[in-house]
Amino acid sequence: MRMGSNSRGCGRSNLLPHCGFAEAKRTVTEKSLISFNSVLLIAGFGFLVILIVLTGICDAEAADTIKVLIVNEVYPNVPAKNEKIEKMGSMKGDLLVVGSHYSGNIEVWKGDGGLYLINELPLEEYVKEVVVAEVGSNWEMEALKTQAVLSRTYGIYQKKMNRDSLFHITSSVLHQAYKGNSFDTRIAYAVEETAGEILTFNGRPIEPFYHSTCGGRTENPEDVFGKSYPYLRSVESNCEISPYWVWERRIPLTEIEKAMNMSGIKEIAVKSYTSTQRVKELSIVHDSGTTAIKATDFRKALGWSRIPSTNFTVKKDEDSMIFEGKGYGHGVGLCQWSALQMARDGKNYKEILSFFYPGTTIQLYESR
C-alpha cells in the first residue's frame, strides 16, 4: 500500500492516454464509424482507469505523510480552536529552526498567536525522528522497536483524530517529541524492522499513552485523563535504572505563588490520593483562604520538569516547599525505562507491548 512519494504523478496531463485517438483518426471512414466508437469507448475507459490509479497514488501519498506543528521556544504557541489564521507561504526542502533541521514540506501560517510552522513529512521518517528524540540510541534493540511501534501508533491515532485539522500532531511533549532530522543507524534499523506496525484494539489504532518513568507502578488513565481504556490498567514494573527513579525538589514559595497566581502561601498539603497512591489533589493555604487544586494542574503550572510526577510527598521548610518523589511523566501506559529493563532481561518488543497494553494486537496500518 505504501507507494512512491512522487507527487508530480498527480494531475499530469501528459500521462493521460492519447494512444488510440491518432490511429482512429487515420482509419475513420464512413464504414468504420463503429470501430472508431469502439476505440473511443476503450480510450475513455482507459482514461477512467488512469484517473483512478492516479487518485490512488495521491491517496496513498497522503496516507503515508503526517503534518507536525513545530512547537519550541521560538514558536511556543498552538493555534486556538477558533483562531483565524492565514497561509503566508510554503517551501520544500530543509529548514533550520533553533538548531534543528526539518525536511519535507514546510508551511508558514500567521494568526493571533504569531507564526506557525507545519512540517509535512513521510510517516516512517517521522517515526525515526521521534524515536531519536524520545529514547537513547544506545538502548537495547527490542526497546527501540517497542518505541517505534508506539510512536507510529500514536502518530496514526492523532492523524485519524485530526484528519480535518491544519495539522495532525505537535512536536512537543503535548504529544510526542520531534526535533527534526537527526539520523541514527540503530534507530533506523528498529523502525524498518517494525515498518507499518501499530497497536490495535478491536481492529482500531489505540491511543498508546506512554511516559518516561513510572516509579514502580503505572497509573490508571481515569485518574489522569478522566477516562478509562480497556487496554490500559495499572501494572507493577521495574524502572530503577531511570535517573528519575527518585528525585527531590526544593521550590521557593515565591516561585509557587507566581506560578499559581496566589500571595502569602502558608502551607501545601496532600488532600487526596489516586488508586495507585499518587497525589490526586493538593490543598493550598494562602492569604485569601484555602484552595484545592488537582495535582496534575499544579504540576503543569510549575512546569513538567520542575515537578517530574505526581508521585510525591510535600513538606514546608522555612520559605520553601520540599517535594520528594519518584518517576517522571503522567504515569499512564508504557514506562520507557521499564521497557528498557525488560529488554535487558530478554523480553522482545511484542512481549513488552503486550505487558503494558493487554488485549491489543499488532497490525499493519495500511489495512486499518
Residue 2 has pLDDT above 70, yes or no: no
Quote the radius of gyration of the chain (alpha carbons, Å): 27
Residue 51 has pLDDT above 80, yes or no: no
Query: pTM of the prediction?
Result: 0.80
Distance separating alpha carbons of residues 60 and 252, to the nearest angstrom: 54
Confidence of residue 295 (pLDDT cuts 50, 70, 90): very high
pLDDT tens digits along 15-24: 333 333 333 3
Residue 337 has pLDDT above 60, yes or no: yes
Residue 33 has pLDDT above 70, yes or no: no
Confidence of residue 6 (pLDDT cuts 50, 70, 90): very low
Residue 291 has pLDDT above 90, yes or no: yes
**Residue 272 burial (CB count, 10 A):** 12
Confidence of residue 180 (pLDDT cuts 50, 70, 90): confident
Confidence of residue 32 (pLDDT cuts 50, 70, 90): very low
E strands present in the chain: 65-69, 86-97, 100-111, 114-122, 169-170, 197-201, 204-205, 210-211, 247-252, 267-273, 279-286, 289-294, 312-317, 320-325, 334-335, 361-364
Per the model's pLDDT, the better-predicted residue between 11 and 178 turns out to be: 178
Mean pLDDT of the chain: 85
Confidence of residue 188 (pLDDT cuts 50, 70, 90): very high
Distance between start and end Cα atoms, the chain: 11
pLDDT tens digits along 104-151: 999 999 999 899 999 999 999 999 999 999 998 899 999 999 999 999
Distance separating alpha carbons of residues 238 and 215, to the nearest angstrom: 8
Are the beta carbons of 172 and 217 closer than 8 angstroms? no
For residues 307-313, give the mean pLDDT: 98
pLDDT tens digits along 192-247: 999 999 999 999 999 999 999 999 999 999 999 999 999 999 999 999 999 999 99
Are the beta carbons of 140 and 345 closer than 8 angstroms? no
Distance separating alpha carbons of residues 110 and 112, to the nearest angstrom: 7
For residues 309-319, give the mean pLDDT: 97
Share of the chain above pLDDT 70, in %: 82
- The residues near 223 (Cβ < 8 Å, ≥ 6 apart) are 274, 275, 276, 278, 280
- The residues near 282 (Cβ < 8 Å, ≥ 6 apart) are 268, 269, 270, 271, 292, 293, 294, 295, 298, 314
How much is the pLDDT for 63? 54
Residue 82 has pLDDT above 80, yes or no: yes
Share of the chain above pLDDT 90, in %: 72
Q: Which residue has the cell 521560538?
A: 74
User: Using CB atoms within 10 A of its CB, is residue 106 exposed (0-12), middle (13-18) or buried (19+)?
Assistant: buried
Confidence of residue 366 (pLDDT cuts 50, 70, 90): confident
Per the model's pLDDT, the better-predicted residue between 317 and 2 turns out to be: 317
For residues 249-257, give the mean pLDDT: 98
